[in-house]
Amino acid sequence: MKCGVRSILLIGCALLLAVMPMQLTAQVNCTVPSLTMTEVGKVQLPSYADTRMNPVRVKMHVDGDYVYIGDYVSREVYIYNVADKSSPNRVSRIQTQYGNIHDIWYDDGYVYTGHRGGGITMINVTDPSAPSIARNIGVGYIHRGLATVGNYLFCGKGFSIYEIDKTGGNLLVRSNLGNHFDGFEVVATPNGDYAYRGIEWGVNQPLGVYNVQNKSNPQFVKLFHENTGEYPPGEMEISPDGNFLYALTNHVPPGEAGFRIYNIANPADPQLLSHTAHANILSLSLDNVHKILYVRDSKLGTDCSIREYDVVDPSSPNLIDCYYFPPSSFLNRDTGYVEAQDGDLWYSNGYIYAVYDDDLVILQVNSNVAPVAAISVNPLSGIEGSDMAVDASGSYDLNGDALTYSWDFDDGDTLSGNDAVVIHTFQDNGAFHVCVTVSDGTDDDTACLDVTVDNAVPSVDPVAVPVEMRLVSVGDTVEVHASFTDPGSLDTHTGVFAWGDGETSDGVVTDTGGSGVVEGSHKYDTAGQYKVMLDVTDKDGGTGHSFFESVIVYDPDAGHLTGGGWVASPLGSCMQSPDFEGKANIFEGKSNIVISSKYKKGARVPTGKFKFRACGLEFLSEDQEWLVATRAGSKKAIIKGGTNDWKFLVWAGDNTPENPDTVHVKIWDTNTGDVMYDNGVDQALSGGSIVIHRAKAKNRRLRDGRR
């Protein structure tokens, strides 16, 4: 079987996983070119003492466009600008004070180096081209044990925690457990609450767990091992979510070396998920976005110099590709022998940085992998005319390429651009299949979902009646109109008026973009007080309602009103005396006539008087605005009158002898709106009568050619 058969990350992987065993430690022919890793650039590292470097002891840290390399033998730090991956450029180098560099770490403008038999060096690299020593601290033997979280630096050998003073360029000791179980590598959880140390050979306990929430007083929790005879972790890495720990073991008997993955969701109690055995692993680096673990073979010339493992399922890592470095020989200055060995490894943003022989080699992972599109809509259902946020920010590109987004909203509208989140307004209701196509410039992917948009009911303004048409004579035509708006700008509309006299008619609708006006007119043939209703309905059946409360239609020839008597005022009818309950007298002068109202010939305003007394209230008005009297069926009359300060309404009923006449009185203050008296209903007179008189024949108007 050939390595590198996965031409598209995570897609071809599924096919490969179906045919590969879980623990793949058998020989794989990786001398063929890798399909997922391609060399794009390299640069020769500096020489020392007329011999080449010892790559097995070179440590590096990659951040953004810079690679920081610590040379074990020369004790120098080299800084390379790798913005142009095809042409890495060394921008500076700086000599450190202490012994051999065993580890290097970069964080926020500073590089930290750990030295064998010497201490820690803090280097200011805010200007990578001009690094400077900020602090030297002699802390004894440091062996591959540096890591930072927040403002704290953790050291694995002689477990120490330092607070980093970046303003003053200083390291402040917060705690030192001394040589607490001979230490090895160290890592800390992303929140800085727990740290893990590889415990040195001979302890048979590979992992030390520490609670470091109190940096001044770290607490040893436990020594973890899944069975006896285990060996300490070397290089370790924790996933950014803090759920998994990846650790390699080397220099141990066959079957024990390799890498292990631990579940540390409960950081105080790691749980082994898997152990992938391999005898020659030197370093590892995690691509957390795509859940790929890269491990480095410590011997050149083997089938797989760099192994690529799929760790989507951390309990079952699978080898999916290899990169092959050909054999090479160099002088190992520790032993004086010519050996074939390998160096450090680091993954960052789609690239692998590796030391091979005395070169820094840059490998691009996948020449191009199609992006993965994702789409969501908030809300998933809505009302036409309202804004909906359509979100493709969950889309990603495996190579870190910039993405463009093409939207199809299934309503005739499309949009393209660089925005992952757009606001769209559906102008009509319906079910829409909304899609986004995400492109990295070479490949693309599409994601869709269904969106439901409900119809919006038109909003109708109050029916408008011209002032001069709110009081009309029988036979006059009343013209009305009302404006409306509809969020559904593609809707068409109809309007229907109900005139209050039993008649309806279609309105004349003028609308554009969902908004418009409905107009209508009506001739009233019968005197009365009429409420005009309007229904505006869109094409989808949504109906909005409106009305005008009262059109007064009078008939000067319908008759006139006289009456008098008294009623028993119900409790609460007299506002100035809420507890009053008793007789209310209605009279006019000395004639015992309570009310009179009549249209004189040719007049549009009636004349008459209204006098009312109850609960200490005396009201007299000779000003009247209109009279509506009807004799068809039951004989009824309504009178409105009053001054600028006071108004009254009287509803009067001239009933049959078997049924008492009725009266309903309402009086209110026009300035404040306060109601002074209202008996609330048509009350039977306890004494007196109401008479609605027939107009005299000689005063009647001709109607339809008849008298």
In 3-state terms, what secondary structure has residue 653? strand
Pairing mode of beta strands 58-63, 543-554: unpaired
Number of folded domains that form the chain: 4
Q: Is the pLDDT of residue 231 over 60?
A: no
Q: Is the pLDDT of residue 414 over 50?
A: yes
Q: Would you say 369 and 400 are in contact if contact means Cβ atoms under 8 Å apart?
A: no
Distance CA 552, CA 555 (A): 10
Q: Which residue has the tokens 């993405």?
A: 403
Q: Would you say 147 and 237 are in contact if contact means Cβ atoms under 8 Å apart?
A: no
Same domain, 575 and 548: no
Average pLDDT over residues 521-539: 94
Distance CA 159, CA 152 (A): 13
CA 64 to chain centre: 29
Domain boundary residue, one of 436, 454, 472: 454
Q: What pLDDT is recorded for position 258?
A: 84
Same domain, 510 and 483: yes
Distance CA 195, CA 203 (A): 19
Same domain, 432 and 381: yes
**Kind and range of the H or E run holding 14:** helix 12-17
Q: Please indicate, yes or no, if residue 572 is contained in any of the structural domains.
A: yes
Q: Please indicate, yes or no, if residue 3 is contained in any of the structural domains.
A: no
Quick one: pLDDT band at residue 250, thresholds 50, 70, 90? low
Higher pLDDT, residue 142 or 696: 696
Q: Is the pLDDT of residue 450 over 90?
A: yes
pTM of the model: 0.52
Q: Please indicate, yes or no, if residue 536 is contained in any of the structural domains.
A: yes
Q: Please indicate, yes or no, if residue 2 is contained in any of the structural domains.
A: no
Same domain, 93 and 121: yes
Between the CA atoms of 22, 25, 28 and 34, what dihedral angle is there, to the nearest 10 degrees? 70
CATH number, domain with residue 511: 2.60.40.10
Q: What pLDDT is recorded for position 255?
A: 59
Mean pLDDT of the chain, nearest integer: 82
Greatest distance between any 2 Cα atoms in the chain: 142
Average pLDDT over residues 87-100: 92
Q: What pLDDT is recorded for position 634?
A: 74
Q: Please indicate, yes or no, if residue 439 is contained in any of the structural domains.
A: yes
Q: Is the pLDDT of residue 198 over 70?
A: yes
Quick one: pLDDT band at residue 420, thresholds 50, 70, 90? very high
Average pLDDT over residues 600-629: 87
- Domain containing 73 equals 12-365
Q: What pLDDT is recorded for position 224?
A: 77
Q: What pLDDT is recorded for position 433?
A: 96
Q: What pLDDT is recorded for position 572?
A: 82
Identify the weakest region by mean pLDDT among 298-307, 312-321, 512-521, 629-638. 298-307
Q: What pLDDT is recorded for position 398?
A: 64
Q: What pLDDT is recorded for position 24?
A: 31
Higher pLDDT, residue 198 or 480: 480
Same domain, 447 and 538: no
Same domain, 283 and 354: yes
pLDDT in tens, 254-306: 556 789 999 999 999 999 999 888 766 778 999 988 889 999 876 544 567 88
Same domain, 73 and 190: yes
Neighbouring-strand partners of residue 217: none
Same domain, 77 and 181: yes
Q: Is the pLDDT of residue 225 over 80?
A: no
Q: Please indicate, yes or no, if residue 356 is contained in any of the structural domains.
A: yes
pLDDT in tens, 356-366: 877 899 999 87
Quick one: pLDDT band at residue 106, thresholds 50, 70, 90? very high
Distance CA 282, CA 300 (A): 11
Q: Would you say 301 and 341 are in contact if contact means Cβ atoms under 8 Å apart?
A: no
**Neighbouring C-beta atoms of residue 137, cutoff 10 Å:** 19
Quick one: pLDDT band at residue 558, thresholds 50, 70, 90? confident
Q: What pLDDT is recorded for position 327?
A: 66
Q: What pLDDT is recorded for position 26?
A: 31
Q: What pLDDT is recorded for position 177?
A: 76
| Helix-strand-coil split of the chain, %, nearest 5 | 0, 50, 45
Quick one: pLDDT band at residue 111, thresholds 50, 70, 90? very high
Q: What pLDDT is recorded for position 580?
A: 54
Interacting residues of 610 by C-beta distance below 8 A, sequence separation 6+: 588, 594, 595, 597, 619, 620, 621, 622, 624, 639, 641, 648, 650
Domain boundary residue, one of 554, 569, 586: 554
Interacting residues of 12 by C-beta distance below 8 A, sequence separation 6+: 5, 6
Same domain, 546 and 564: no
Same domain, 449 and 463: no
Which residue, 334, 302, 362, 352, is CA-closest to 54?
Answer: 334
Distance CA 243, CA 190 (A): 10
Q: What pLDDT is recorded for position 509?
A: 97
Pairing mode of beta strands 471-473, 543-554: parallel
458: DSSP letter: P
Q: Please indicate, yes or no, if residue 72 is contained in any of the structural domains.
A: yes
Distance CA 503, CA 528 (A): 14
Q: Please indicate, yes or no, if residue 1 is contained in any of the structural domains.
A: no
Same domain, 666 and 574: yes
Identify the weakest region by mean pLDDT among 12-21, 115-124, 439-448. 12-21
| DSSP one-letter string for 502-569 | S-EEEPEEEEETTEEEEEEEEE--S-EEEEEEEEEEETTS-EEEEEEEEEEEE-TTS-EEEEEEEEEE
Average pLDDT over residues 624-637: 83
Q: Is the pLDDT of residue 421 over 80?
A: yes
Q: What pLDDT is recorded for position 3?
A: 35
Domain boundary residue, one of 500, 519, 554: 554
Angle at 14 between CA 10 and CA 19, to 5 degrees: 140
Higher pLDDT, residue 358 or 241: 241
Higher pLDDT, residue 532 or 641: 532
CATH number, domain with residue 326: 2.130.10.10
Quick one: pLDDT band at residue 29, thresholds 50, 70, 90? very low
Average pLDDT over residues 115-127: 88
In 3-state terms, what secondary structure has residue 15? helix
Quick one: pLDDT band at residue 578, thresholds 50, 70, 90? low
Distance CA 606, CA 598 (A): 5
Q: What pLDDT is recorded for position 617?
A: 78
Q: Would you say 206 and 249 are in contact if contact means Cβ atoms under 8 Å apart?
A: yes
Q: Would you say 79 and 128 are in contact if contact means Cβ atoms under 8 Å apart?
A: yes
Same domain, 80 and 138: yes
Q: Is the pLDDT of residue 593 over 60?
A: no
